[in-house]
Amino acid sequence: MPLRPAPFSACLPIHEGALGADPNRFKPSLADRATCRKTLGLSPRDILILTAGKFSPNKNLDTLVRSFARVSNRHDDLRLMLAGAASRADMNRLSHLIQNLDLASNVTLRGLIPHDELSKFYNAADIGVWPGAHSITVLEAMAAGLACVIPIDELAYQPVIEAGACAGFSSKEPDALVNAIESVATDQDLRASLSTKGRTLVEQKLSWSRIAEDLIEVYQDAVST
């Protein structure tokens, strides 16, 4: 009777891979912050909230715009920039939402920022918000020292949430994103703490070099098994 091969999962453990960022390319820079904010026409008082990446429906940008509208009603120093790639229909829908909520003077909707320019924008911003499906841009923003707000129920973000490196909110609670944005926007010490923790997490555990080292170790263990 021929022997059945053991299932692959019975032979070797399954390891989850991780996304990462390059902390040498994305890093805090006061010079970049000053230059980019001047280019964007921001005053020292303005607090810029940024989200960047691909604007697919599961990114929940409508939720971000509506939450920003509520917070900005109470804090007139807030600004929002949506920078990303989307279909013409999705861009038009976001544009109409911004107009309908009377946010045109406080919200900038623009195309995708070139990757080699992203670090400058992360430095210019004060808060990064990614309200939907996970995005690698969150890790790049953290590496640049940007205080970020992300959903706690997005599994890919669990290492970040567990490290306390970002402000989290439950996407199942209607007011959670509003409260998270407001708490970070009104607390400079919290932003500074999240900035330090986020940068440290990327340097120590989520840099591409560290991920490569971990992956090599997994392969070495597999070969020696």
pLDDT of residue 20: 79
pLDDT of residue 223: 58
Fold adopted by 23-220: Rossmann fold (3.40.50)
pLDDT digits (tens, 9 = 90+) for 39-51: 999 999 999 999 9
Q: Which residues contact 95 (CB under 8 A, 6 or more apart)?
A: 109
pLDDT digits (tens, 9 = 90+) for 16-33: 546 778 999 999 999 999
Domain boundaries, the chain: 23-220
151 bridge partner residues: 169
CB of 221 within 8 A of CB of 12?
Answer: no
